[in-house]
Structure 1
Amino acid sequence: MAHCGSNETSPKVQAPRPEIIKPRHGSIDQSIKPVLFEIFGEIWTVQSRLGQGVSASVYRVSSGRAAATTAAAVKEFHPDAHGGDYGYHKERSVLEDIQGHKNIVTLYGVFTNHSCMGVANHCLLLELLDVSVSDLLVRGSNGSQVGRPQQGHSMWLVQHCAKDILMALAFLHREGYVHADLKPRNILWGADDEGFKLIDFGLSFKEGNQVGVPGNLKDVKYIQTDGYRAPEAELQNSLAQSGVEVDSGCTTAVDIWSLGIILLEMFSGVKLKDTICSHEWKDNSTAIVDHLFASNSVVCPAIPVYHLRDLIKSMLLIDPKQRCTAETALLSPFFSIPFAPRIEDLVLLPTPVLRLLNLIDDSHLHNEEEYEDILEDMKEECQKYGSVVSLLIPKENPGKGQVFVEYANSSDSKQAQRLLTGRTFDGKFVVATFYPLSAYKRVNLSSMQIELSYEKCTETLYFRCLRHNVKDAVRNNEQKRNKRLGGFTAPGEATAPLRMPSTPSVHMRRPWVTPEYCHKMAS
């Protein structure tokens, strides 16, 4: 096993100190068998490698006590020969200074992993996030090749990402920092928080301190990534490469430029690296932006895109002093338009809420007994994949006939979405998408909501309420559930009838069995 030799904390990132255990194997990077390490008093398991760069590797880890609820990411920096030591201290100091914003990745703690060769690898224990904007761009471009040429992501998704990252940048810039490497790979979706978050602060610096202090030539010189690099950063990098010293570095405006390019790619569905690096862009960037928006407006003429176009143009001004700031960008009319997500968005972005489509007919909704049976079937099936907080099937719009399942966390809903999609229920194929938790909570359908906690009445009183009709209920439920081909079945799976218990159980509870009803029956 690979163990943590020591753990470090700071005033802003506090965690209990683990026991120091002598390592038995090398660093975390062992893909043949599970790697265990102890940190903050818990045993963690390395589940997979999420990514690898020149100076660091990132792994998905989980606590041995409750893997579903304590998943995290470990960023292990390579030995100093690859710049890992410098990157670790740089990113750690920035993250410790800016913790607390909902759109910036959370740093849980820091520790050192000692290999059997005596090499100490510095590690960051970070919040585990989900899909990146880079992944979304790839999936969006694949979709456009199948019949939606030149069409990027929905305005809802572009607006969501733009607002979240602008809020993160506004906070970061107020703290005096420049991110300096904003790109699609460094924007990730937080499934439990339902928001996009900034990661990777290895190139970040305090505005005005990019060139470093006298005698420290190893500070941030080369910033940003090709395709997302602002014009002034391009000049700065060229001067640094030529050995020319400059009095001042880049400003927060470089982050605004990068975000403008990212939003333009998300909207257009076109990778712009080659375009941005061309002479044509330098001479006619405004015309190119207009052309991209005109092309998409033909595909979706009903969507007002001019506010987004104007916002992106203000982000891509050549003069950094004329570029909009993050705070002024948030005042754009673009953010006042209430866009709705497309079904593709609800498949791509995990949330704790699952929505099941293509299951319920109108006949089921108007037959109270059938409706209650389906509720029980859904509850029983969905609980197999995790802790269910609530479940509802609206009888009227919005959401009429759709099944909404709120899980305790997004890990459970992701597993349910993966395993339920393509299965059949009552002869119908299940279509499972995610659904925004905020929108789910706004729906005032409490009368149709099944709470998975029972009313405060005794079990004896509950059985008394049902004693007159329990035998008929059991027999009828058994017949109807068998008629539905045994509930959920996987493709090609033999259909086995689901049997109701011969005595009353928690699955037989009906929504009308309230404390008031029990009180009335008892008297």
Structure 2
Amino acid sequence: MWLVQHCAQDVLEALAFLHREGYVHADLKPRNMWSADDQCFKLIDFGLSFKQGNQDVKYIQTDGYRAPEAELQNTLAQAGVELEVHCTAAVDLWSLGIILLEMYSGAKLKDTVRSQEWEDNSAAVIDKIFVSKSEAHPAIPVYHLRDLIKSMLLKSPQQRCTASTALLSPFFSIPFAPHIEEMVLLPSPVLRLLNLIDDSHLHNEDEYEDILEDMKEECQKYGSVVSLLIPKENPGKGQVFVEYSSSSDAKEAQRLLTGRTFDGRFVVATFYPLRAYRRGYLYQTLQ
């Protein structure tokens, strides 16, 4: 849910800006969107973009993320029929809705969106996807995300939410903490090392200072270390947080440290959100 929320908010903010300027991206898809050094999801690949009301591209959007009106337009263009009304910024919201639904469900939905069941009642299909996944997040009000996605996937482009109104969804008022799997997926300049420090070492000042020096010396083998933190109390007690000067250094360190053995302990290395680390916020919900 942290990953979905992070992606949705970043992309919607980018779309809100783009649409205010009068442009349509016209090719959103889940590929190369994460910027490790800037710690956000970005819009890239503007090869099919156009100024709204002045569409000069006949065939837009990637199959599987194509809005119904874009599908119709592409079909008519192939048949040599010129349309007087072109696609609007609403096609971008459709693509993002599909991306978020795929992120939540963990499955590609190309065949689902083409099915007769979807054509008959897409809202019911979305409900079914959320019901099937509800046990995975019993304490999280996932209906906020469900309703947001539904508002993006209305068949009529005129009825779809805009990027600006989508950002007002209550889904963004709830701070989700990242799961350990999400912290492995998204590279960051910060590493979090688990299973390294025994609690007894934290309460002996001399041992604690020695550990800090040893860890900094070890971590500097893989790149330039900006800072290193080992909290003595919860949250984060006994975990090692290492901030590198770049995400590429952190990725190399994560690759080489994971599975290493120190004092008979196998190291687990994940990335950690840079913004949270710099604010001193150490997530408690990490398992």
What TM-score, normalized by structure 1, do the two folds share?
0.53
The Cα offsets for residues 244-302 of structure 1, whole Å up to 9 and x where unpaired, read as 11112100000000100110000011210001112221111010000000111123222
Q: Which letter maps to 2:254? A: Q
Q: How does 1:439-478 map to 2 (within 5 A)?
A: 439-443=276-280
User: 2:224 pairs with 379, 384, 387, which one?
Assistant: 387
| Secondary structure of the corresponding residue to residue 61 of structure 2 | coil
2:12 is matched with 166
User: 1:308 pairs with 119, 139, 145, which one?
Assistant: 145
Structure 1 residue 439, shift from structure 2 partner: 1.1
Q: Which letter maps to 2:6? A: H
Q: Does 1:331 align with 2:178?
A: no
Q: Which letter maps to 2:4? A: V
Contact conserved, 1:256 with 1:325, CA < 8 A, in 2? yes
Compare CA radii of gyration and give the structure with the larger one.
1
| Secondary structure of the corresponding residue to residue 191 of structure 2 | strand
2:285 is matched with none
| Secondary structure of the corresponding residue to residue 384 of structure 1 | coil
Contact conserved, 1:156 with 1:341, CA < 8 A, in 2? yes
User: 1:256 pairs with 78, 84, 93, which one?
Assistant: 93
Structure 1 residue 444, shift from structure 2 partner: 7.8
| Secondary structure of the corresponding residue to residue 311 of structure 1 | helix
The Cα offsets for residues 214-263 of structure 1, whole Å up to 9 and x where unpaired, read as xxxxxx10111111111111111111111111112100000000100110
User: 1:247 pairs with 84, 106, 130, which one?
Assistant: 84
| Structure (1 or 2) with the greater helix fraction | 2
2:112 is matched with 275
What RMSD over aligned residues (CA atoms) do the two structures have, in Å?
Answer: 1.2
Q: Does 1:290 align with 2:127?
A: yes
Contact conserved, 1:165 with 1:197, CA < 8 A, in 2? yes
Partner Cα distance (1:176, 1:246) in 2: 20
The Cα offsets for residues 455-514 of structure 1, whole Å up to 9 and x where unpaired, read as xxxxxxxxxxxxxxxxxxxxxxxxxxxxxxxxxxxxxxxxxxxxxxxxxxxxxxxxxxxx
Q: Does 1:157 align with 2:3?
A: yes
1:200 is matched with 45
Unaligned runs of 5+ in 2: 283-287
Contact conserved, 1:209 with 1:248, CA < 8 A, in 2? no
| Secondary structure of the corresponding residue to residue 154 of structure 2 | coil
Contact conserved, 1:178 with 1:204, CA < 8 A, in 2? yes
Contact conserved, 1:362 with 1:401, CA < 8 A, in 2? yes
Partner Cα distance (1:294, 1:313) in 2: 14
| Secondary structure of the corresponding residue to residue 240 of structure 1 | helix
What TM-score, normalized by structure 2, do the two folds share?
0.96
Partner Cα distance (1:379, 1:309) in 2: 44
1:422 is matched with 259
Q: How does 1:28-43 map to 2 (within 5 A)?
A: none
Structure 1 residue 440, shift from structure 2 partner: 0.9
Partner Cα distance (1:348, 1:334) in 2: 22
The Cα offsets for residues 10-40 of structure 1, whole Å up to 9 and x where unpaired, read as xxxxxxxxxxxxxxxxxxxxxxxxxxxxxxx
The Cα offsets for residues 96-128 of structure 1, whole Å up to 9 and x where unpaired, read as xxxxxxxxxxxxxxxxxxxxxxxxxxxxxxxxx
Q: Which letter maps to 1:439? A: A
Greater RCO, CA 8 A, separation 6+: 2
2:242 is matched with 405
Q: How does 1:371-386 map to 2 (within 5 A)?
A: 371-386=208-223
